[in-house]
């Protein structure tokens, strides 16, 4: 049993246009102190997958099946009052939208102290003191001053770090960070990744890191799940994945990476554009979803959906005609 | 914040001074001798002369204005042409009645309107929402005088639960006072409750879909804190703004309500003064109304700034 076990997670949304198949049969597990990257292009279901864990998806329209176990406890059926004790304390989230995720009407200090008072029963004064420490931890200068300020007085990067301070305040067992460095300068990016690493080292926090940035994946993640159109295309330890990518989608992503950027200093290394269209999430065709864009496709790729197949220890890929282990990206 | 308040107060004083000039000129712009206008059409020549003397009406206009201002500020608003009572005495009698009526109506409207708006937003698309929205629509479309007559027919004439009209001061007979205030309060408050309900509902709906609400939930906060602290706080600015905008309607609504229920308040005083061309009273009534308007708008502005850190802090840092 791992710290977090997600098995056959399938999430859809009822919308006016029909049923949106956002995430399909995703399985992964997370050990204590492990950093797992979820990557893939926009709309592939990274955020939905991660938000299913703390059950932060819109309750009335979400259709969810599968199992999510945290320390052996099933979260999908946990009564809401117990789930509220898990949120913010055992599982916490840094959201993708730093500009709008803080409440404009309350001070930064209040918003950090709030989560501490909720879960750790701290007094107002003690929570305030902790808030200052947390701001210092995420690298905000003059924290005693900053806690009295409102979100609109802070830059996007500052707000993102306040969000991180809120998320790590109660030393969660699982931290979900959705594009936590996208809004940040390169120099600050490194600092934020250090905060995560430090949290992992000190408390054994496991981190689900959602990112477009393969450089960040290579830098900090232990394992990665590459998602395509709501499914896992490939999943492997990071070194293995970079050394021996098997799925044509992963191969394409890496081939599109300028070699200099992979090896060289930090820069914006976003998942490159691969020509072609992603299938509409309103449909869930039987064949391989990558078919229309795949350079290796053959006739049988449309007949059935390629299952995830083991290609090495902990290395899975869903492709009928995978790249060869020796093939260089 | 202090700067902001001082600046707003300064602006309010300017508006009041401007208002006093207009009121001052208004009476003097009427055809005929202002002394006769202020004394009443069939006043004795002696009284007219006394008034001309008292207000220095033979002096040039600027001198007169300064004198008018001085008298007003020292609490002398002249005498009613009907009964020669000092206008201040009449106001002291009538104003508390209207203040009680409007305060009760606002209290009911804010409580009912804001609560119903919150419930409707939280239970959007479900029964409670339809009920609240339905009542909101009814409250907006039913004219208050019709509602008032209906209420009198039902509760006073048919059921005999409440007195139909009249007024007794709270200090004389608290129960009787409140009994007589129930229907007027509901009639006056109904429309505001409806407006507030609708605005609160839409403000809460937009607040509840904001990203910071998801953040609040991700902290594990109970729903009452998510709704009652995070969403409500951001909806309050809307509520305060609506209150400010509805002020004119409140004042005219009070006039109508006092007519229906024969309440001897400020509204009734206004109507009577206009009907009898009682200019000193009209002058005072306009002055009080303008002052009330300016003061309440000032309070709304300050409350708005207080609720909105962007305004509050920008007001504090660069004046
Ligand atoms: N609440 C919702 N209702 C309906 N559809 C949704 C909802 N949330 C997400 N989706 C859809 O689910 C799919 C996956 O969205 P998701 O946000 O997980 O993508 P993502 O991988 O995080 O993309 P990005 O990198 O742009 O953040 C998208 O097609 C999206 O439109
Ligand atoms: S199954 Fe076929 S179409 Fe799909 S990725 Fe593999 S080779 Fe390409
Ligand atoms: Mg996302």
- Segment A184-217, tens digit of pLDDT: 777 778 888 888 998 899 889 999 999 988 888 9
Confidence of residue A271 (pLDDT cuts 50, 70, 90): very low
Among the ranges given (A113-117, B106-110, B178-182), the one the predictor scored with the smallest mean pLDDT: B178-182
B219 touches A: beta carbon within 8 Å:
yes
Percent with pLDDT over 90 in chain B = 34
**CB contact (8 A) between residue A118 and residue B221:** yes
Q: What is the pLDDT of residue A268?
A: 46
Cβ–Cβ under 8 Å, residues A212 and A271? yes
Q: What is the mean pLDDT of residues A301-311?
A: 93
Domain ranges of chain B: 34-76, 94-276
Which of chain A's residues have a Cβ under 8 Å away from the Cβ of B218? Answer: 54, 56, 87-88, 92-93, 95
> Is A266's pLDDT higher than 50?
no
Ligand 2 pocket at CB < 6 A? A 248, 288, 290-291, 294, 296-297, 301, 306, 319-321
| DSSP β-ladder status, A223-228 and A35-39 | parallel
Q: Is the CB of A44 under 6 A from ligand 1?
A: yes
Q: Is the CB of A228 under 6 A from ligand 1?
A: no
Q: What is the mean pLDDT of residues B109-132?
A: 93
Which of chain A's residues have a Cβ under 8 Å away from the Cβ of B310? Answer: 104, 150, 152
pLDDT in tens, A117-137: 999 999 999 999 999 999 998
Closest atom, ligand 2, to C-alpha of A300: 2
B87-122 and B247-260 helices, crossing angle to 10°: 110
pLDDT in tens, B35-82: 887 777 777 888 888 888 877 777 888 888 898 899 889 988 888 887
H runs (alpha helix) in chain B: 2-29, 34-39, 45-55, 61-73, 87-122, 127-141, 144-151, 174-208, 211-218, 223-225, 232-245, 247-260, 266-275, 279-307, 309-317
Q: What is the pLDDT of residue A256?
A: 67
Mean pLDDT rounded to a whole number for chain B: 87
Confidence of residue A261 (pLDDT cuts 50, 70, 90): very low
Closest-CA residue of chain A to B237 = A105
* B166 vs A288, residue with greater confidence: A288
> Collapsing DSSP states into helix, strand and coil, what is residue A178?
strand
* B1 vs B220, residue with greater confidence: B220
Q: What is the pLDDT of residue A257?
A: 66
Q: What is the pLDDT of residue A274?
A: 72
Residue A317: nearest ligand to its CA?
2
Mean pLDDT rounded to a whole number for chain A: 90
Mutation target vs A (from B203, B219, B304; most A CBs, 10 A cutoff): B219
Q: What is the pLDDT of residue A262?
A: 47
Percent with pLDDT over 70 in chain A = 93
Distance from the CA of B205 to the center of ligand 3, in angstroms? Answer: 23
* B213 vs B28, residue with greater confidence: B213
Distance from the CA of A290 to the center of ligand 2, in angstroms? Answer: 6
Which of chain B's residues have a Cβ under 8 Å away from the Cβ of A84? Answer: 220-222
Q: What is the pLDDT of residue A35?
A: 97
Q: What is the CA radius of gyration of chain A?
A: 20
Which of chain A's residues have a Cβ under 8 Å away from the Cβ of B212? Answer: 100-104
Q: What is the pLDDT of residue A181?
A: 82
Q: How many CB pairs under 8 A join A and B?
A: 70
Residue A51: nearest ligand to its CA?
1
* A263 vs A188, residue with greater confidence: A188
Cβ–Cβ under 8 Å, residues A76 and A68? yes
Confidence of residue A325 (pLDDT cuts 50, 70, 90): low
- Tell me how far apart the alpha carbons of residues A190 and A16 are, in angstroms, rounded to a whole number: 42
Complex prediction ipTM: 0.89
**CB contact (8 A) between residue A100 and residue B222:** no
The helix (H) or strand (E) run that includes residue A93 is strand A91-94
> Is B180's pLDDT higher than 80?
yes
pLDDT in tens, A154-187: 988 889 999 999 999 999 999 999 998 876 777 7
Distance from the CA of A279 to the center of ligand 2, in angstroms? Answer: 14
Which of chain B's residues have a Cβ under 8 Å away from the Cβ of A54? Answer: 218
Confidence of residue B14 (pLDDT cuts 50, 70, 90): very high
Distance from the CA of B268 to the center of ligand 3, in angstroms? Answer: 63
Each residue of B269-279: b (16+ CB within 10 Å) or e?
Answer: bbeebeeeebb
Residue from A290, A292, A322 to probe ligand 2 pocket by mutation (most atoms less than 8 Å from CB): A290
- Tell me how far apart the alpha carbons of residues B250 and B244 are, in angstroms, rounded to a whole number: 10
Q: How far is CA B264 from the centre of its chain?
A: 17
Q: Which domains does chain A possess?
A: 4-227 (3.40.50.300), 229-317 (no CATH)
Which member of A56, A85, A150 has the closest CB to residue B214? A56
Each residue of A10-48: b (16+ CB within 10 Å) or e?
Answer: bbbbeeeeeebbbbbbbbbbbeebbbbbbbbbeebbbbb
**CB contact (8 A) between residue B220 and residue A95:** no
**CB contact (8 A) between residue B215 and residue A153:** no
Mutation target vs B (from A58, A93, A103; most B CBs, 10 A cutoff): A103
Q: What is the mean pLDDT of residues A62-78?
A: 96
B221 touches A: beta carbon within 8 Å:
yes
In the stretch 224-253 of chain B, residues with CB closer than 8 A to chain A read 230, 233-234
The CATH class, in words, for B94-276 is mainly alpha
**Two structure tokens written together for A242:** 């970079």
Backbone phi and psi for residue B173, each to the nearest 5 degrees, phi listed first: -150, 85
> Is A258's pLDDT higher than 70?
no
């Amino acid at each position: 049993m791992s710290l977090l076990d997600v098995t056959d997670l399938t999430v859809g949304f009822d919308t006016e246009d029909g049923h949106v198949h956002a995430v399909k049969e995703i399985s992964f597990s997370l050990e204590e102190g492990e950093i797992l990257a979820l990557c893939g292009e926009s709309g592939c279901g990274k955020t939905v997958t991660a938000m299913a864990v703390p059950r932060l998806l819109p309750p009335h329209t979400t259709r969810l099946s599968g199992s999510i176990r945290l320390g052996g406890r099933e979260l999908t059926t946990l009564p809401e009052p117990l789930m509220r004790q898990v949120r913010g304390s055992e599982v916490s989230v840094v959201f993708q939208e730093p500009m709008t995720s803080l409440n404009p009407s309350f001070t930064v200090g209040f918003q950090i102290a709030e989560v501490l008072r909720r879960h750790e029963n701290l007094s107002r004064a003690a929570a305030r003191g902790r808030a200052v420490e947390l701001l210092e931890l995420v690298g905000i200068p003059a924290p005693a001053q900053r806690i009295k300020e409102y979100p609109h007085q802070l830059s996007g990067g500052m707000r993102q770090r306040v969000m991180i301070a809120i998320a790590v305040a109660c030393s969660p067992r699982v931290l979900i960070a959705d594009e936590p460095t996208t809004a940040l300068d390169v120099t600050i990016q490194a600092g934020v990744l250090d905060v995560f690493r430090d949290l992992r080292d000190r408390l054994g926090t496991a981190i689900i890191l959602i990112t477009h940035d393969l450089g960040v994946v290579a830098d900090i993640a232990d394992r990665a799940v590459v998602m395509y159109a709501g499914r896992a295309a490939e999943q492997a330890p990071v070194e293995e994945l970079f050394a021996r990518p098997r799925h044509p989608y992963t191969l394409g992503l890496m081939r599109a990476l300028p070699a200099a950027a992979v090896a060289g200093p930090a820069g914006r290394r976003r998942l490159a554009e691969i020509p072609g269209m992603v299938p509409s999430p309103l449909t869930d065709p039987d064949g391989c979803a990558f078919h229309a864009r795949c350079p290796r496709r053959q006739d049988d790729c449309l007949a059935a959906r390629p299952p995830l197949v083991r290609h090495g220890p902990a290395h899975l890929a869903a492709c009928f005609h995978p790249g060869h282990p020796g093939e260089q990206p | 914040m202090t700067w902001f308040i001082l600046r707003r107060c300064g602006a309010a004083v300017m508006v009041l001074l401007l208002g006093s000039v207009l009121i001052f000129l208004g009476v003097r712009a009427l055809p005929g001798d202002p002394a006769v206008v202020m004394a009443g059409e069939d006043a004795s020549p002696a009284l007219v002369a006394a008034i001309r003397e008292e207000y220095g009406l033979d002096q040039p206009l600027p001198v007169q204005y300064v004198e008018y201002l001085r008298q007003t500020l020292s609490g002398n608003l002249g005498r009613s042409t009907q009964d020669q009572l000092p206008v201040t005495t009449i106001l002291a009698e009538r104003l508390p009645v209207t203040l009680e009526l409007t305060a009760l109506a606002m209290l009911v409207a804010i409580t009912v309107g804001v609560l119903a708006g919150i419930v409707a937003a939280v239970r959007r698309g479900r029964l409670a929402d339809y009920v609240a929205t339905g009542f909101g629509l009814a409250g907006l479309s039913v004219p208050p005088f019709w509602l008032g007559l209906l209420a009198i027919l039902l509760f006073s004439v048919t059921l005999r639960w409440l007195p139909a009209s009249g007024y007794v001061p709270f200090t004389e007979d608290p129960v009787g006072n409140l009994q007589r205030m129930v229907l007027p309060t509901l009639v006056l408050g109904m429309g505001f409750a409806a407006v507030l309900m609708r605005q609160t509902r839409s403000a809460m709906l937009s607040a509840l879909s904001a990203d910071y609400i998801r953040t609040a939930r991700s902290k594990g906060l109970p729903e009452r804190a998510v709704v009652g602290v995070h969403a409500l706080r951001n909806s309050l600015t809307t509520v305060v703004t609506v209150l400010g905008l509805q002020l004119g309607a409140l004042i005219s609504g009070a006039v109508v309500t006092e007519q229906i229920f024969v309440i001897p308040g400020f509204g009734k005083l206004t109507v009577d003064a206009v009907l009898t061309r009682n200019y000193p009273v009209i002058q005072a009534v306009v002055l009080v109304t303008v002052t009330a308007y300016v003061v309440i708008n000032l309070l709304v502005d300050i409350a708005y700034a207080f609720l909105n850190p962007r305004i509050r802090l920008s007001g504090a840092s660069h004046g």
